[in-house]
Amino acid sequence: MELLERFLKYTSFDTQSSEESGVTPSTPGQMVFAKYLKEELETLGFEEIELDENGYLYATLPANTDKPVPTIGFIAHMDTSPDMSGKNVRPRIVEKYDGSDIVLDAAEGIVLSPSRFPELLDHIGEDIVVTDGHTLLGADDKAGIAEIVSAMVYLKEHPEIKHGKIRMGFNPDEEIGLGAHKFDVEKFGCAWGYTMDGGELGELEFENFNAAAAKITIKGRNVHPGYAKNKMINSMLVAGEFMSLLPAAETPAHTESYEGFYHLVGMSGEVEQSTLSYIIRDHDRQKFEARKEKVQQVVAFINQQYGEEIATLELRDQYYNMREKIEPVMHVIDLAKAGMKAAGVEPKVKAIRGGTDGAQLSFKGLPCPNIFAGGLNFHGRFEFLPIPNLEKAMMTVVKIVELSVK
């Protein structure tokens, strides 16, 4: 099966994860896909193939050299984002993209345009995979899975490329922050690994946000509005007060690069009770802790203003910046850079304005930076994948493996 064909097949599986189910994997479609992948890996002749009850799939390409070489791993996630449907994905290939608007659905006026997405212009002349405008594509991270599997097939078919033991790991629920939670690092047995889960060609990432989630619950007091003076507490209005007390210019829409933010991701309410859900992000650990403290201070201030505890806070850390775990083993980054260059790709080291399974895995003892998978505009209908990006990502994996012996 060719690389592109493999990727397109993978997109046919509905693997959208869910934060609501409370089980692993969070949706049954992920296990369906995992079982398909297991059968594919068995058919391809890989070894030590194991799919556990939580949907984590591991496999091995055995070493073909007696030279002592560290075991390295490549990891990608099977789920797609809850932000948009991944059911009945209908990918289409735009051949030799000419720089103009790409009409995804003429009847509904859904258009992928370089005026809104100027990164399209970096891929003029290339074949591009797009959606039909009604689902995401799923290159995040089915492109990563296809690249890893295809690279292992390539290495199997080219025994003249000597390599050590290579491990593959495919996991559920990365998009809801749980991908690494039940990943068995000891069983994986690698000195280090790479997630194939980045975006544009050449991206190499070993810094990410420190991350926390905050849920603020506000209890109101409902009284007949005709007799409410000095009695009613409208929880929705208090929620508005809370939002106004956070820095207005420190949101995702106002920040870039290493700047952190408070991001309101959900709200619901009526007079009696309202809830606000935030994610808190910062690359700098001290600033991250200060942001959490700010939220605690605002909750305390609200309660002080109303003279009673009407606001409560649930605050939990989600993951941390992997940089502190990668810096002591920078040869892992040097190898990735060398692999990219050998594949004809110029490395672009950047910080992730988000998270990755690699961050949590690094803190579990598996140093695991992130390499580009090639797609762009993840999590929505305007997602697209330049086919040369897909091919170069696959060859980057091959070259990393090849160079790890030298």
Active site residues: 79, 174
In sequence order, which residues have a C-beta less than 8 Å from that of residue 98 and are 6 or more positions away? 124
**Among the listed residues 216, 213, 215, the one whose alpha carbon sits nearest the alpha carbon of residue 319:** 213
Burial-class residue 388 by CB neighbours within 10 Å (0-12, 13-18, 19+): middle
Query: Is residue 214 classed as helix, strand or coil in its secondary structure?
Result: strand
Q: What angle do CA 58, 61, 67 make, to 5 degrees?
A: 130
Question: What's the CA gap between 171 and 193, in Å, rounded?
Answer: 14
List strands edge to edge, sheet with 92-94.
92-94, 128-130, 384-386
Question: What's the CA gap between 373 and 384, in Å, rounded?
Answer: 12
Question: What's the CA gap between 51 and 77, in Å, rounded?
Answer: 14
Give residue for tokens 């305390």: 300
DSSP string over 147-174: HHHHHHHHHHH-TTS----EEEEEES-G
- Name the DSSP class of 283: S
- DSSP strand E in 81-225: where? 92-94, 102-105, 110-112, 128-130, 166-171, 192-198, 203-207, 210-219
Cβ(279)–Cβ(265) below 8 Å? yes
Q: What angle do CA 397, 399, 403 make, to 5 degrees?
A: 125
Question: What's the CA gap between 179 and 127, in Å, rounded?
Answer: 31
In sequence order, which residues have a C-beta less than 8 Å from that of residue 157 and are 6 or more positions away? none
Cβ(188)–Cβ(74) below 8 Å? no
Q: Which amino acid is at 319?
A: Y
Cβ(357)–Cβ(179) below 8 Å? yes
